[in-house]
Chains A and B, each alone.
Chain A
Amino acid sequence: MKRSVFPNRWLPYLLVAPQLVITIVFFFWPAIDSLRLSLYRASPFGDRMIFVGAGNFQRLFADPAYLRSALTTFLFSFLVTFIGLALALLLAALANAKIRGLVVYRSLLLLPYGIAPAIAGIIWLFIFHPSYGILPYLLSFVTAYQFNWFLKGWVALTLIIVAAIWKQFGYNLAFYLAGLQGIPSSVLEAASVDGAGPIRRFFAVTFPLLSPVTFFLFILNMTFSFFETFGLVHSVTQGGPGDATSIMVYKAWKDGFEGLQLGLSAAQSVVLMAIVIGLTAFQFRYAEKKVTY
């Protein structure tokens, strides 16, 4: 590795200082504060702080509702990630073909990513609302089954999974398209010469060559569905019916900001923090090593 040499000893520190200050003030400080708060039973107005040690965590892990929420979150995240990536890859492979109007087609596919999750939620609300949504209305001609997600948990969960996949779709597609264009045509031609058909070529050549992109998108989508789907849940289901769509990040917000149980909420964000650290560590450790380039 090449070592950069600065004429002044302090200059490098000065140059990274702004970044460091931002990181400390906006990331480390709040994180440490949540850690501290998670050890207390705190009153909303801050007049009482009772040290409870791991009490909040014990309460959390003894609460079946929290364990259900964790289970829902993992199920939700895996489904959003796997279905989302599979669909994006499929459409990227198709969009990578040489067809007329490709630019328009590609741009349209990228559009959903530009929409804020809360707005996306409202759009889906209008489509799926049991009384004024267009989809239940159309479905009522086909089946007598009531897709009322105010009461049916699995419908509500399916709804936010579909909405989250749609929301993240453009992003995934953009990366897969870029990945596909980075595959040298000589490799694919060589496979063709060896007699591999389009499907064989895809699975034997394209897919393995895309694995770094897939891995990157996997981590990114997991993080997205863990955290950034808050707006979606908040605007569409509010965690209900029952607690069918109460994902961890939503529950942490609700217990803290509506329920004013700050210590308990802080404990939940510490758990979430541990999950992100885990995911990131996993990414750094394996991204470079185990993935075929």
Chain B
Amino acid sequence: MKVFVIAALATVLALAGLPAESQAKTEIQWWHAMQGVLGERVNEIAAKFNASQSDYEVKAVFKGAYPDTLNAAIAAYRAKQPPHVVQVFEVGTQTMLSSGAVYPVFQLMKDNGIAIDWNDVIGPVKSYYATGGNLASMAFNSSTPILYYNRDLFKKAGLADKAPATWDEIEAAAKKLVAAGAKCGYSSAWPSWVLMENMHALHDQPFADHANGFDGLATTLKINGPFGVKMMELLARGAKEGWFTYNGRLSKAEANMGGGECGIFTTSSAYIAGLTRASEGKFTWGTGPLPKMGGFPQGHAIIGGASLWVLKGAKPEEYKGVAQFFKYLASVDNQAWWAGITGYLPISNTAVKAMETSGHFQKNPQQKTAITQMNAGKTTPNSQGIRLGNFVSIRDGIEEQMENIFSGKKSPKQGLDDAVAKGNEILKEFAALYK
């Protein structure tokens, strides 16, 4: 027994001594919020980067959902032990910009002498994360909402095999779908992001003052204007008449589309991978761009997802490694692989072209929809993105009121007025903090 223990100890000691070589590598902590398949892909990125060079070791650490990851990074920063890179969802952008804790990405690259052609970054992604034309964070997983339709249900309802392009067409098709026995004619995930944020941008309508917060801290929400009210009136009527089904906040409703219940559905383009798996052997589906509302000008769909922020407080040689890592992330190879496998947008025009040349979109035509949508329309002050202090709470307040509107508890105008009042209160607090 004693001999065994000694042998075991010796083995442990020998093993502990082995990785001496890799300890010389500079470690880079990357905290992220990607679960399941996406989490595996993130680990793959880190592994590939680590294998590509011998100076740095990127450690990808899953820290829970987006809010949990941000909270973990905040706690670590306050304890003076920040990760080098943290993934923050798009609604946290203003919080990060105001935090004073961020090392802007464009500066990081410049300081480390790495040239990245920022003009190659696709427009909507660049506008969302740039200040004064310079990227403050590294675009990572960006998606845009698109429309999905269940081909089998369309066939059953006698509808043409074509994605509805306008809200009028959605209403007409959804009514037929329900009449033909579909449990849900039209539904949407991410209610605020798709039906409020993107619809306002797509129709060139302001979401908040100061150009949606891009020309200075926003103080007032604008969503209770004629467009917002019309949008909510349409959906409230849909809920009442039964052709629109509300299925919960965040991504919850995706379960209904994946379960084959919904004829028409809107959610992130990154749901392509999930829907492919959920529908396998059960039903077929197609995609189309977000629907338009007649009588309003043409804007541009906006993105969602998350970007990578570099936190202050690390050593210069570590930042050098982060810069190398970002260079790897931005490479055409990595972008084309990441976008192709996840359904997120490739961040550079060169990567889009590479995917076109390789025939990726011929094999995966559904992935083309999001890219076409991103290149269509006009970028205006209303459609470059939305940048609000504490956007998480504002979005939550909007979804709360959407529920009150869809259930008929409040009129569309009243619900939106209440959402604006709560949002303005939150913006006022944020402005008071950073005045």
Contacts and interface: CB of A to CB of B under 8 A. Distances in A.
Whether both chains belong to one complex is answered with yes
Interface of A: 41-48, 50, 65, 130-132, 148, 150-153, 238-243, 254-255, 257-261, 264
B433 A150 contact: no
Interface in B214-239: 239
Nearest to B311: A45
5 contacts: A43-B433, A46-B77, A47-B101, A259-B393, A261-B429
Interface string B408-435: 0100000000000010001001001110
Nearest to B82: A45
Contacts of B255: 131-132
A259 B100 contact: no
Nearest to A131: B256
A255 B426 CA distance: 11
A198 B140 CA distance: 71
Nearest to B406: A151
Nearest to B389: A260
A45 B392 CA distance: 16
A258 B246 contact: no
B407 interface: yes
Given A44-B99, A131-B256, A240 B393 contact: no
What does DSSP make chain A's interface, helix, strand, loop or mixed? loop
Nearest to B187: A131
Contacts of B100: 45, 47
Contacts of A65: 422
Contacts of B71: 257
A50 B409 CA distance: 38
The 4 A-B pairs at the shortest CB distance, nearest first, are namely A259-B393, A241-B403, A151-B407, A45-B99
A131 B261 contact: yes
A240 B74 contact: no
B396 A259 contact: yes
A260 B392 contact: yes
Interface string B69-80: 011001001100
Nearest to A241: B403
B433 A259 contact: no
Contacts of A153: 407, 409
Given A242-B400, A243-B400, A258 B99 contact: no
B390 interface: yes
Contacts of A43: 98-99, 433-434
B183 A240 contact: no
Contacts of B409: 153, 242
A258 B406 contact: no
Given A41-B432, A48-B433, A150 B403 contact: yes
Given A45-B77, A131-B259, A258-B396, A151 B99 contact: no
A26 to B, nearest CB: 17
B324 interface: no
Contacts of A50: 432-433
B401 interface: yes
Interface centre among A44, A148, A240, A264 (most CB of B within 10 A): A44
B249 interface: yes
B43 interface: no
A241 B67 contact: no
Contact of A242 (B390, B401, B426, B429): B401
Contacts of B393: 255, 258-259, 261
A258 B395 CA distance: 11
B247 interface: yes
Given A50-B432, A151-B246, A240-B249, A44 B74 contact: yes
B98 to A, nearest CB: 8
A259 B425 CA distance: 13
A254 B256 contact: no
B396 A254 contact: yes
B400 A150 contact: no
B404 interface: yes
Nearest to A43: B433
B50 interface: no
B390 A261 contact: yes
A242 B407 contact: yes
Nearest to B71: A257
B407 A241 contact: yes
B248 interface: yes
A150 B404 CA distance: 10
A98 B256 CA distance: 49
B366 interface: no
B112 interface: no
Given A48-B434, A131-B247, A260-B390, A242 B404 contact: yes
A132 B247 CA distance: 12
A245 to B, nearest CB: 11
B248 A150 contact: yes
A132 B239 CA distance: 19
Contacts of A41: 429, 432-433
Contact of B247 (A44, A150, A258, A264): A150
B95 interface: yes
A153 B259 CA distance: 25
Given A48-B433, A258-B396, A259-B396, A131 B95 contact: no
Interface in B169-220: 183
Interface string B235-269: 00001000000111100000110010100000000
A43 B100 CA distance: 10
A132 B257 CA distance: 12
B246 A150 contact: yes
A152 B409 CA distance: 9
B392 A259 contact: yes
A148 B100 CA distance: 44
A45 B432 contact: no
A45 B433 contact: no
Nearest to A254: B396
A259 to B, nearest CB: 4
Interface string B375-391: 00000000000000010
Contacts of A44: 74, 95, 99
Contacts of B400: 239-240, 242-243
Nearest to A259: B393
Contacts of B256: 131
A252 B253 CA distance: 26
Interface string B99-123: 1110000000000000000000000
Contacts of B239: 151
Nearest to B101: A45
